[in-house]
Amino acid sequence: MLDNHVSLTRTTITPQKKDKVALVVLIILLILIIGATFGGYYYLKTTAPKPYVYSAQLSADVIQHDKEIYFEVEYYNPSNWDAITSFPIYLQDELFYEENVDLVTKERFKEEYVFSNLDAGDYTIELADEKYTFTVLSPAQFELKVDEFPDLLIDSAKIELDYKITNVGESKGDYDVDVKYNGEVIKSETYSLRSQEDIKDSFNIDIEGQEDISISVNDYELKSKIYTPVRLDNGEKLMENTVRGYGYFEIFNTSKDDMIIYVTKVKDPSTAVAAIYIRSDDDLKFRSFPNGSYNIYIQKGSKWIPDVNAFANNNEMYKWDYEFDFNNNVDEVYGGNYTSWTITLNNLRNNDDFIEVEELPIMKK
């Protein structure tokens, strides 16, 4: 309850016109200050130095096929402002990688990019108007060469075969070799070769109780029949004489090889009229040659194989460069004269009297 002596009075104060003007000016000044602040900030930031690629380098100029190459890039922000920027990377003029890089002020930032599974050829990387080149070599490529079998393989013999691997490609690589004997792996090896490098290796196989064999070195396959050698008796004929007469050869074999003596007529050198076996360090008489001129062919070696008419070891064939004439004058009742030739055979190689030949006369059995 109010005292009767107290009264309340409401008074309204109306600002003067000059106070309104001051308020407006103040607002305008604030707007100008804020605008200038943001404008200056924008100006400083837009005119500040931009981030750039400080350095970039490849891990190599040349790489092996199927290897990776690394591209290391260092970015730098020289300004006083943080920045987000993008640096696209092109490989062979095609966009390879693009990412926004967030850099704080004065920061250096490294990034590593990996290029892999590239075909052989020359490549160019482009970054920030700079180009970086490298080469990818062609892949390793291998050539395999294997010695041929000996001309004849005999039972209970040992085979030693050599093979050679060459990397003819541009890159280093590994090459696997599997050697199989009658389908069973007897050797497995991996060879690591640089470009243009080669390596030789060999393997041994003991042959026993086999009729046919197959040896493979990867896709290279060798097949052969196994023969059983014999040694004929001294004087054993390989064919019956197709001529009859009184002349004869007395032959001494002083060499270390067994021999087969083929006799042909001079007018028909392709066909033997007689053939006989003479052992080393032995002699014999080769009879029944009628009048005429004859040539002698000689086959020498050891371990005779009748199936192929050849010696398994050191098989060599020669023609004696001489004509042997027989002038027999013999009567079955009264006798007479006949021709004989005594010959000694030893070193035929490098002997001017003997000519090495590729074929022998045909034997008619």
Q: Which residues have CB under 8 Å from 243's CB, separation 6+?
A: 273, 274, 288, 289, 290
Residues of the chain under the 50 pLDDT cut: 1-8, 44
What is the pLDDT at residue 148?
Answer: 82
**pLDDT (0 to 100) of residue 334:** 57
Radius of gyration of the chain (CA): 51
User: Which pLDDT score is estimated for 356?
Assistant: 95
Model confidence over 17-46: pLDDT tens digits? 666 777 777 777 787 777 666 665 555 455
Q: What is the pLDDT of residue 259?
A: 97
The percent of residues in the chain predicted with pLDDT above 70, rounded, is 88
Tell me how far apart the alpha carbons of residues 264 and 275 are, in angstroms, rounded to a whole number.
Answer: 9
Walk me through the domains of the chain, giving residue ranges and CATH numbers: 52-136 (2.60.40.10), 142-227 (2.60.40.10), 237-356 (2.60.40.10)
pLDDT (0 to 100) of residue 176: 97
- What distance in Å separates the CA atoms of residue 132 and residue 135, rounded to the nearest whole number? 11
Query: Looking at residue 23, what is its pLDDT?
Result: 75
- Write down the residue that tokens 């083929």 correspond to: 262
- pTM of structure: 0.59
pLDDT in tens, 115-139: 999 999 999 999 999 999 999 999 9
Amino acid at 212: D
Beta strands (DSSP E) in 11-107 are 52-58, 62-63, 69-76, 83-86, 89-91, 94-97, 100-103
Provide the pLDDT for residue 267: 95
Dist CA 190 CA 141 (whole Å):
14
Predicted pLDDT at 196: 94
Residues 271/293, Cβ–Cβ less than 8 Å: no
